[in-house]
Amino acid sequence: MTATWRVLVTEPADGATNMAVDETLWRGRRAGTSPPTIRFFGWAPPTVSLGYGQPLDRHVNVEACRRLGVGLVRRPTGGSAIYHDGPERELTYSVVATTDDLGGARDLLETYRWIGRALVTGLRALGAPVEMVAVAGGGIAPPAFCFARTGSYEIEVDGRKIVGSAQRRRGRCFLQHGSVLLGVDAPRLRELFPTTRDPLATLTTLEATLGHRPKFDDVAAALAQAFEGEHGLRLTPDGLTADETAHAARLVEEKYATAEWLAGPA
Instruction: Given the residues 38, 146, 180, 182, select the one marked as catalytic.
Output: 146
| Torsion angle of C-alpha atoms 260, 261, 262, 265, degrees rounded to 10 | 90
Counting every residue written for the chain, the total comes to 266
3-class secondary-structure state, position 172:
coil
Q: Please, what's the b/e burial string for 57-74 (b: 16 or more CB within 10 A of its CB; e: otherwise)?
A: eebbbeebbeeeebbbbb
Question: Cα dist. 97→56, 155, 169 in Å?
Answer: 29, 21, 10
Q: What share of the chain is helix, strand, coil (3-state, %, to 5)?
A: 40, 25, 35
The helices-and-strands tally (H runs, E runs) of the chain is 9, 11
Please compute Rg for the chain using Cα positions. 17
Say whether 65 is catalytic: no
- Catalytic positions, please? 146
